[in-house]
């Protein structure tokens, strides 16, 4: 299992995947907004989304675990 953390504090404005979705490396996972800047967070590995711990509209903090990807199921 690989944890994908929030890179900077912000608000989740788009969610691109759900639990159970297969993802490739560089798949868009979610988008944050910080001071009118959009930040796309991508998968760092290939696998299956085991847990998605944030939701649309959430205010999130830097280093908060947002997504857990199970690379053994890819």
Number of separate domains in the chain:
1
pTM attached to this predicted model: 0.89
The label of the residue with tokens 């490396």 reads 25
Could you report the per-residue pLDDT of 35-68, keeping only the tens digit for each?
999 999 999 999 999 999 999 999 999 999 999 9
Closest by alpha carbon to 63, among 41, 37, 38? 41
Q: Average pLDDT of the chain?
A: 93
Could you write out the DSSP letters of every residue in 18-69?
A: -TT-EE-TT-EEEEEEETTEEEEEE-SS-EEEEEE---TT-EE-TT-EEEEE
| Residue 35, domain extent | 2-73
Q: What is the CATH number of the domain that holds 45?
A: 2.40.50.100
């Amino acid at each position: 299992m690989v944890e994908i953390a929030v890179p900077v504090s912000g608000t989740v404005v788009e969610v691109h995947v759900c639990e159970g979705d297969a993802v490739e490396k560089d798949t868009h996972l979610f988008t944050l907004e910080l001071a009118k800047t959009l930040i796309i967070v991508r998968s760092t590995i290939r696998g299956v989304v085991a847990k998605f711990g944030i939701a649309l509209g959430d205010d999130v903090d830097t280093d908060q675990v947002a997504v857990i990807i199970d690379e053994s199921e890819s």
